[in-house]
Chain A
Amino acid sequence: MSAGVSAWLPFARAAAIGWMPVANLPMPVAPAENCGGQHHHRKDELVVLNVSGRRFQTWRQTLERYPDTLLGSSEKEFFYDEASREYFFDRDPDVFRSVLNFYRTGKLHYPRYECICSYEDELAFFGIIPEIIGDCCYEEYKDRKRENAERLQDDLDDENKDKAKPPNMTSRESMWRAFENPHTSTMALVFYYVTGFFIAISVLTNVVETMPCGAAPHHKEVSCGDRYTVAFFCMDTACVLLFTVEYLARLFAAPCRVRFARSVMSVIDVVAILPYYIGLVMTDNEDVSGAFVTLRVFRVFRIFKFSRHSQGLRILGYTLKSCASELGFLLFSLTMAIIIFATVMFYAEKGSTSSKFTSIPASFWYTIVTMTTLGYGDMVPKTIAGKIFGSICSLSGVLVISLPVPVIVSNFSRIYHQNQRADKRRAQKMQKARLSRLRMSKTGSSSAFLHSKRNGLFTEALELTTCIEQEQRKDTSLLESQHHHLLHCLEKTTNHEFVDERCYQQSFLDNSSLTRGGYVSSSRSPSPCSQEGVAGTCCGTRDHAPLSNAKGVAAPPPPTYVLHHPPHHHHPTHRPTVREYVTVYL
């Protein structure tokens, strides 16, 4: 129960008078309040909390709203200073403000200027779980916590990287480690630099291959590739051999080969070396030589292998990947504009002779060139309508491209963060751990009632309340016992008991099996749930004899095991239910 609500418990109990005329059973006895000596609980008094010199004062009842925290339970007595008659805590007074405000308002706030670690330490000291931080501050708290965890994780990773090699690593593991962290051993470093060098050589070769390389006297100019075919072929072979060896070695060393094979870097590796092998296979086949030439283009992907060597490339790639959706949308809207204008231009220019706008796709080129204000001039409209629409196209191109670009850029950063926050919030809302803890605290209040039913209540009936009994049952606070009394009254009014879900299913099943089974003998069939015995049943067995025979019966016989027999049998069924048997075992 939250803070202020527990102050309304007297009201809820008073409102229970409304059930009395409806009830047919007598009500249980209310828990007596002050039995000797506990008078100060009744009168509201101020307590002084001295936190490192700063004095806070509040009502005792405010603190007792949350009996499962340090300040709400008797644990604070450990900090009581007799001489100054105050509670002294040697903790941070600034954070204590939030803690005390939690008792006052029922909401826990996380101050932004506070360090996450110190805040969590204080909460742990005062016995408050961070999950009840209010929604206003929960997101901030989670963000800071995640940053902190990442920082810790980074520290740990760095430590792990620099750690000496654990003694018994298999050769495969050590190879993988060498590949991932080249600076761990000299061999790895050498390999790293050698591959880098060969990537550069390979890219350079591809580029130089196509340059014109001087002409033989009466032949036209040939490219270097054609002139020094063998040399270039050897160079290519050497590079590809090295890349192949590297790829196979990585594949062998990877802890999860499927995952490695799917990763971006390995795809790049494969694409870099595949054209060579395909070329080897298909050299003699003239039909596919065109495709073979195309394949050589893929050799340029070798340049991406540099991203293993360059942190900057990796960051760029990650940035593009993360804002891909925004860029994609921009492209999509541009595409829409292009299609619209291309269509318009095509139909506008359809009439003119020798028009270059032969089809709508042909007009795409004009639209793109015009909208990006390139204006090559290879396609120009000739009709008046075409010129008008062409100018509209170029003006709108300016608007469509240049205006939203800064807006998109700033939108991008805002939406990016906003989406991140929305996703985070959604993830937090669905975060199972938080929900389950909140649910547990909610069911805690209902299961607390069932628990107390199970545990202590048959002793309550044995003796009409004496103060000794009250003292002995001090583990449940007064608030809780009053709340349980209220729920008990409701049970009496409706003549049904609260059970937990498991028991309910069980009794449901048992009842349905009874309808099939028919006759059940009294000696063999206890009530569905009370098979384990007196203390450990889920439905709770209670000694009802003194209560249902109400009128001032003397002390009932000692521990009895009684099945509950409701005086009013509401169910007009003919099947013999277990409730019709009252068995008393002495």
Chain B
Amino acid sequence: MAGCTSLCRQGVLKLIQSLQRLVSGTLTKDRTDDELEMMTMVCHRPEGLEQLEAQTNFTKQELQILYRGFKNECPSGVVNEETFKHIYAQFFPHGDATTYAHYLFNAFDTTNNGSIKFEDFVMGLSTLLRGSLREKLEWTFHLYDINRDGYINREEMTEIVSAIYDMMGKYTYPALKGDVPKQHVDAFFQKMDKNKDGVVTLDEFVLACQEDETMMRSMQLFENVM
């Protein structure tokens, strides 16, 4: 019987809804199709396999595998920032990877035109995976140097570190406090900024990294990713 009384209440609500619909009608406006913007089809084909092989440190087979994955996700041949963020975010389901993906995108997009072609992608990967230590460090420096002025200042580093912490998400142990990124940045500057002038130049960065054995070992970690 209790179910019947709740049904009664639902019936009253439905009555009110139907009365409202009676007055206002249910004719919906048709969506005008002219408002659909025609997306310009950008199609980009990369240069030949031999050229890419010469320019990067990958073998032909590795390039083939890379291109297949790339083309599958981006049939038009270029990655725009949205797709890039979407792809990167899928690897970090806990937190928000979009900010860091934005910086990564800028690091890969050497031509600064808002899209990554396959060549840019492969060049970046070649540096990261097969490049010399110095090249890797230079790449990382360019990643941190958001405004490309040749110096890493505190604000840029804070943004990068906050972006990394964002990827952790909310549920961490120990719980993330607000000043953790700041302290991390302080520790970083402590280590890197030799002349204490508040900014880190490329040489300071490379020097400080080469002194840190743990970091050197970590950089070699991803040698055999492909």
A: which residues have CB within 8 A of B? 1-5, 7-27, 29-30, 32-33, 43-44, 59, 61, 104-106, 256, 258-259, 262, 324-326, 328-329, 332-333, 411, 415, 418-419, 422, 442-443, 445-446, 483, 486-487, 489-491, 493-494, 496-501, 503-504, 507-508, 511, 529, 539, 550, 566, 568, 570-571, 579
Using A445-B93, A571-B177 as known contacts, say yes or no to A497 and B172 having CB atoms under 8 A apart: yes
> Could you tell me if B129 and A418 are in contact, using CB atoms closer than 8 angstroms?
no
> Could you tell me if A15 and B128 are in contact, using CB atoms closer than 8 angstroms?
yes
> Could you tell me if B73 and A4 are in contact, using CB atoms closer than 8 angstroms?
yes
Residues of A within 8 A of B21 (CB): 325, 328
Query: What are 6 A-B contacts defined by CB distance under 8 Å?
Result: A15-B88, A18-B104, A26-B214, A106-B72, A329-B26, A418-B28
In whole angstroms, what is the CA distance A491 to B72 when docked? 30
Using A490-B164, A490-B168, A494-B165 as known contacts, say yes or no to A5 and B87 having CB atoms under 8 A apart: yes
In whole angstroms, what is the CA distance A32 to B209 when docked? 26
> Could you tell me if A332 and B25 are in contact, using CB atoms closer than 8 angstroms?
yes
In whole angstroms, what is the CA distance A411 to B26 when docked? 11
Q: Which of B73-99 contact A (CB under 8 A)?
A: 73, 87-88, 90-94
Give the interface residue-count category, chain B.
35 or more
- Name the residue on A nearest B181 (C-beta): A494
Q: Which of B34-42, B47-55, B183-191 contacts A (4 or more CB under 8 A)?
A: B183-191
Q: Choose among A7, A23, A494 the residue that contacts B168 (Cβ–Cβ < 8 A).
A: A494
Using A5-B90, A568-B187 as known contacts, say yes or no to A262 and B205 having CB atoms under 8 A apart: no
- Rounded to whole Å, the gap between the CB of A479 and the closest CB of chain B is 11
- Name the residue on A nearest B67 (C-beta): A7
In whole angstroms, what is the CA distance A59 to B121 when docked? 23
- Name the residue on A nearest B200 (C-beta): A21
> Could you tell me if B214 and A504 are in contact, using CB atoms closer than 8 angstroms?
no
Kindly count the residue-residue contacts between A and B in the assembled complex, taking CB atoms under 8 Å apart: 209
In whole angstroms, what is the CA distance A43 to B65 when docked? 10
Q: Which 6 A-B pairs have the closest CB atoms?
A: A7-B69, A329-B25, A328-B22, A4-B73, A4-B72, A258-B4
Using A328-B21, A507-B174, A570-B177 as known contacts, say yes or no to A256 and B125 having CB atoms under 8 A apart: no
- Rounded to whole Å, the gap between the CB of A535 and the closest CB of chain B is 18
- Name the residue on A nearest B226 (C-beta): A10
- Rounded to whole Å, the gap between the CB of B95 and the closest CB of chain A is 9
> Could you tell me if B140 and A18 are in contact, using CB atoms closer than 8 angstroms?
yes
Using A12-B88, A486-B91, A568-B187 as known contacts, say yes or no to A22 and B25 having CB atoms under 8 A apart: no
In whole angstroms, what is the CA distance A501 to B173 when docked? 10
Q: By CB atoms of chain A within 10 A, which of B61, B69, B70, B173 has the most?
A: B173
Using A14-B129, A21-B209, A26-B218 as known contacts, say yes or no to A324 and B143 having CB atoms under 8 A apart: no
- Name the residue on B nearest A448 (C-beta): B93
In whole angstroms, what is the CA distance A27 to B214 when docked? 8
Residues of A within 8 A of B179 (CB): 570
Q: By CB atoms of chain B within 10 A, which of A7, A23, A259, A326 has the most?
A: A7
Residues of A within 8 A of B161 (CB): 22
Using A14-B128, A493-B164, A501-B171 as known contacts, say yes or no to A20 and B187 having CB atoms under 8 A apart: no
> Could you tell me if A570 and B183 are in contact, using CB atoms closer than 8 angstroms?
yes
Residues of A within 8 A of B18 (CB): 324-325
In whole angstroms, what is the CA distance A259 to B3 when docked? 10
In whole angstroms, what is the CA distance A8 to B108 when docked? 14
Residues of B within 8 A of A568 (CB): 183, 187
> Could you tell me if A21 and B140 are in contact, using CB atoms closer than 8 angstroms?
yes
> Could you tell me if B173 and A7 are in contact, using CB atoms closer than 8 angstroms?
no
> Could you tell me if A497 and B25 are in contact, using CB atoms closer than 8 angstroms?
no
10 further A-B pairs in the complex, CB-CB below 8 A; given A328-B23, A445-B93? A7-B68, A21-B205, A30-B224, A329-B25, A422-B28, A496-B174, A497-B172, A498-B169, A511-B175, A579-B174
Residues of A within 8 A of B128 (CB): 14-15, 17
Residues of A within 8 A of B172 (CB): 494, 496-499, 504
Residues of B within 8 A of A18 (CB): 104, 107, 140, 143-144
In whole angstroms, what is the CA distance A419 to B146 when docked? 50
- Rounded to whole Å, the gap between the CB of A405 and the closest CB of chain B is 15
In whole angstroms, what is the CA distance A23 to B214 when docked? 10
Q: Choose among A16, A324, A422, A504 the residue that contacts B170 (Cβ–Cβ < 8 A).
A: A504
- Rounded to whole Å, the gap between the CB of B141 and the closest CB of chain A is 9
> Could you tell me if A500 and B171 are in contact, using CB atoms closer than 8 angstroms?
yes
- Name the residue on A nearest B131 (C-beta): A17
Residues of A within 8 A of B43 (CB): none
Interface of B is mostly: helix
> Could you tell me if B171 and A504 are in contact, using CB atoms closer than 8 angstroms?
yes
In whole angstroms, what is the CA distance A147 to B119 when docked? 51
In whole angstroms, what is the CA distance A328 to B18 when docked? 10
Residues of A within 8 A of B170 (CB): 504
Q: Which of B87-132 contact A (CB under 8 A)?
A: 87-88, 90-94, 104, 107, 121, 125, 128-129
Using A33-B224, A494-B165, A504-B175 as known contacts, say yes or no to A328 and B25 having CB atoms under 8 A apart: yes
Q: By CB atoms of chain B within 10 A, which of A32, A570, A579 has the most?
A: A570
Residues of A within 8 A of B66 (CB): 10
Residues of B within 8 A of A7 (CB): 65, 68-70, 72-73
> Could you tell me if A497 and B218 are in contact, using CB atoms closer than 8 angstroms?
no
> Could you tell me if B173 and A329 are in contact, using CB atoms closer than 8 angstroms?
no
- Rounded to whole Å, the gap between the CB of B72 and the closest CB of chain A is 4
Q: Which of B154-171 contact A (CB under 8 A)?
A: 160-161, 164-165, 167-171
In whole angstroms, what is the CA distance A241 to B167 when docked? 78
> Could you tell me if B5 and A258 are in contact, using CB atoms closer than 8 angstroms?
yes
Residues of B within 8 A of A44 (CB): 61, 64-65
- Rounded to whole Å, the gap between the CB of A450 and the closest CB of chain B is 9
Q: By CB atoms of chain A within 10 A, which of B136, B175, B221 has the most?
A: B221
> Could you tell me if B188 and A22 are in contact, using CB atoms closer than 8 angstroms?
yes
In whole angstroms, what is the CA distance A504 to B175 when docked? 8
In whole angstroms, what is the CA distance A14 to B58 when docked? 14
- Rounded to whole Å, the gap between the CB of B3 and the closest CB of chain A is 8
- Rounded to whole Å, the gap between the CB of B71 and the closest CB of chain A is 9
Residues of A within 8 A of B65 (CB): 7, 44, 61
- Rounded to whole Å, the gap between the CB of B215 and the closest CB of chain A is 6
- Name the residue on B nearest A261 (C-beta): B4
Q: Choose among B1, B22, B70, B73 the residue that contacts A324 (Cβ–Cβ < 8 A).
A: B22
